Amino acid sequence: MKRPFFVAAVIGLAAAYLSIYSSGYIVLSAGVIIIACYFIFYKYSKTPLFYILFVLIFPIMVIRTEYYSRGMRYQGKLTQDCYAYIKGEAVSVIKGGNSYATRLNNALLIPDWKNNDEKVNESVKSGIIIYSEDSFCHAGDYIWVRVKLKDFEEPTNEGQFNARAYYTSDGINYQGIFNKTVNITPCEGTLKASLLNIADSIKNVYVNTFTQKNAGTMRAIVLGDRSVLDDEIKELYKKNGISHILAISALHITMVGMLVYRMLKKIISVIQAAVLSSVIMLFYLYITGNSVSAGRAVIMILVFMLADVLGRTSDGANTLGLAVVILIIRNPYCISNAGFLMSFLAMAGIIFVKPIFSNEETIMLFFRKKKMVSITEMFIYHNIIDMLITGLCVQIATLPVVLSMSGQIAIISLLLNIVVIPLMSVIMVSGILTGIMGLISMKAAIWTAGAGEYILDLYSWLCEKASGSSGAVIVTGHPPEKAVVLYYVFLIVWCVIYYMKVFSGISGKYRNVLPAILYLIITIQLRYNTGCSMKISMLDVGQGDSIVLQTSDGFNALFDGGSTSKKNIGRYRIYTYLKYAGVRSLDYVFVSHPDKDHISGIYELIDMCDNTFEIKNIVLPHINDTDETLLEIRKMADRVGINVLYACRGDALSAGNLSISCVHPCKNYNYESANDYSAVYLISFGKFSMLMTGDAESKAEKCLIQDARKSDSVVDLQKLSGINVLKAGHHGSRGASSENFLRFVKPETALISCGVDNSYGHPHNETLQRLKEAGTKVYRTDDRGEIMVRVWEDSYAIEVFGEQKE
């Protein structure tokens, strides 16, 4: 059997995935099939029976996943008064904005709350992050503390960050709020303490030798500490596809490891160099946080050095498989970790895909290799072209994951990485030497910091220039799962056909034509699809309103965007949804009125307009006086070139089959509060109609009915008096959705946006009762999360986040 560790990795991944996401019957059936297939293979291939050990990774992983899952037994069951005692080693202590985060891996969690179910009070081993106002320990200390346990937040909207899944994949199952210290055993005088003290000293060196922005960047690159990383730099790198350099990754570890090993080989024997390099790598892995991708790199480097000592060549695929097996046994849930996926897929792209694009016959599939005679040609191929091909193959292997995480791909990153990646070695050397020299002489450290400082400034300049191009980034949205599966199935089949030399008789230039065409066709499918003619999503923004409208023709609009119970909903709920849905441009943003729970996120969206996101028009309600908040929105919009419009009853716009008509307020409307003049819009699409009411209450509702009944009304009375969906006014307040109003509009379905356990008591029982008596089905964001209305020409369907409802 060739590459047994690679085979074991594939089987192990299958076991972990099935154990986590499938039923026990499927796991058992898959295990029987795999073992049976091996014995059939053994019978006809005469493979040594010894290799069954690599197949037995399946039952081993099933057992390991079940054991690991025991530490997650309290997820989703924690209440406001759940306390526990935590015992374990503090792996890291990181200072955030206003608090400290202390991380413990595999700590003992002892519940401290009253519960009749003994199983719920069982102690478990689990990872945890403890948040505190002040630092109560140091990294490396053995602590025993009491905390208030909390669950990590799960998403309630499409595109929203899944904190629970992310931390679980990183080995952390809970978060805790520090309550009191029971006992702390300091780690002073130990090797771990010495290593962590050195890391802290190097961080201080960076503060004194680099500019503030570059000091934070250097700490992230060299030491994996992103606590002081500048937000502007982080966003700039992310938008241009080079944010991978800000995390301790395989790239950094490989650079450091190979540099150290090769230098030591020139001074001492190969065995001594390998041993010393391994120790240095393990120490470096410890002080930088032991990330999944860094762990993969260290394992592969250790195998490479072992092979070098034995005078053999390490096989990339087999070594990669060994790394996979070790890491998934350590934490089976890492299979959903973005770092794990990106790191291993990137290596798979280099190992398996790159030989297709650059081999003995062709370069970039279709260009025949020619004999290089000049030094210039050799330099161009071995540096520029090879780097471009490597980057392209990494992009091909990781594309669906990148799109799933960010909803966009930075095309410019291919070119930027040609400059960025080679210079990373200089930054790493500069950073490491600066840290070491700074422990001896700060003046010497300032001298060695120069190269790193200039290159980081160059990175920022290149990213700023690239950000000015609208074509530098392609926004696709989240790709459908079926398209992702098809993409990887095709990529695997393409590799198998190539390595089995199925079409070896055909010239290399032509045998890639059909696969390349099929690849492009499949890649085009990696874009978000609404699955209907029009999709309207009421997002869960806590106590507030935000509704996104999309049509299959490419028209996009936002109705309000604010919250009083959630922070930064513009960036972390509305914008993330827009990226998920592939929305690069909002044609219109409709503001119903200036209350914070309707506009706080719109401020953020205006600030975020750039080459990847734009707002074309903002529509404000037409009122007689000048509201300061609406005036501020006008000023912000003018600064970034957004057109501002004013709407009142009778104004309308259309896009294909879609029509949006303003039905309130009318000109010279006599209002008493901001809620009274909330702009109300009637959305019509084929036979479908929906009424957006903002915070309109009974006075506005009465005015709306009177205006609609006027003979000269431009609004289609029939559509307004028999709507499919009502966005209930003022979050379901008792002052909205009056009996007369419901009798007039006759809504089949009502959507209510409100926060969980909000202080206003929304929605009020009186309103819910009126809706029930009107025969209206109610959906609420506080107990269902995002609510989606999918519309076709002659029908519509209501879906809630995670499950479909008719």
pLDDT in tens, 228-280: 888 888 888 887 877 777 766 666 677 778 888 888 888 898 899 999 988 98
- Domain boundaries 534-804, corresponding CATH code: 3.60.15.10
Token reading at 262: 């090769």
Q: What number is the average pLDDT over the span 579-595?
A: 94
Cα(33)–Cα(576) distance, integer angstroms: 41
Q: Is a pLDDT exceeding 70 seen at residue 318? A: yes
Token reading at 523: 């890649």
Q: What is the DSSP string of 586-651?
A: ESEEE-----HHHHHHHHHHHHT-BTTBEE-EEEEE--SS--HHHHHHHHHHHHTT-EEEEE-TT-
Q: What number is the average pLDDT over the span 667-680?
A: 83
Give 182's DSSP letter.
E
pLDDT of residue 806: 38
Bond from prior residue into 763 cis (ω within 30 degrees of 0): yes
Question: What count of other Cβ atoms lies within 10 Å of the Cβ of residue 408?
Answer: 21
Question: What count of other Cβ atoms lies within 10 Å of the Cβ of residue 651?
Answer: 17
Among the residue ranges 177-181, 390-394, 588-592, the one predicted with the least confidence is: 390-394
User: Which residues lie below 8 Å from residue 728, measured CB to CB, with a gap of 6+?
Assistant: 693, 736, 737, 750, 751, 752, 763, 767, 771, 778
Count of alpha carbons within 13 angstroms of residue 371, beta-carbon side: 1
Name the CATH topology of 73-189: OB fold (Dihydrolipoamide Acetyltransferase, E2P) (2.40.50)
Chain centroid to CA 658: 32
**CA triplet 608, 614, 619: central angle to 5 degrees?**
100
Give 448's DSSP letter.
H
Tell me the one-letter amino acid at 56: L
Angstrom distances, CA of residue 329 to CA of 171, 218, 297, 506, 674: 12, 32, 17, 43, 58
pLDDT of residue 299: 87
Cα(527)–Cα(452) distance, integer angstroms: 38
User: Band of the pLDDT at 80, cuts 50, 70, 90?
Assistant: confident
pLDDT of residue 116: 45
pLDDT of residue 249: 61
Angstrom distances, CA of residue 434 to CA of 123, 226, 289, 427, 678: 46, 18, 20, 10, 59
674 close to 630: Cβ distance less than 8 angstroms: no
The H-or-E segment that residue 524 falls in is helix 513-524
pLDDT in tens, 395-452: 899 999 989 988 988 887 777 877 787 788 788 889 889 998 998 888 889 999 988 9
Angstrom distances, CA of residue 313 to CA of 22, 54, 146, 250, 597: 39, 21, 51, 20, 63
Cα(684)–Cα(791) distance, integer angstroms: 10
pLDDT of residue 794: 85
Tell me the one-letter amino acid at 734: R
Token reading at 683: 């959305």
Question: What count of other Cβ atoms lies within 10 Å of the Cβ of residue 540?
Answer: 30
Instruction: Determine the angle formed by the axes of helices 412-438 and 191-209, rounding to 10 degrees.
Output: 110
Instruction: Identify the bridge partners of residue 535 per DSSP, sorted by sequence position.
Output: 550, 790
Token reading at 134: 């002040």
18 close to 332: Cβ distance less than 8 angstroms: no
Q: What number is the average pLDDT over the span 769-783?
A: 93
φ/ψ of residue 716, rounded to 5:
-70, 105
Q: Is a pLDDT exceeding 90 seen at residue 513? A: no
Token reading at 541: 């923004």
pLDDT of residue 53: 83
User: Band of the pLDDT at 102, cuts 50, 70, 90?
Assistant: very high
pLDDT in tens, 548-564: 999 999 999 999 999 99
Bond from prior residue into 665 cis (ω within 30 degrees of 0): yes
Tell me the one-letter amino acid at 28: L
Cα(495)–Cα(14) distance, integer angstroms: 20
pLDDT of residue 488: 95
φ/ψ of residue 155, rounded to 5:
-70, 145
Where does residue 196 rank: exposed (0-12), middle (13-18), buried (19+ CB within 10 A)? buried
φ/ψ of residue 177, rounded to 5:
-100, 120
Cα(769)–Cα(763) distance, integer angstroms: 10
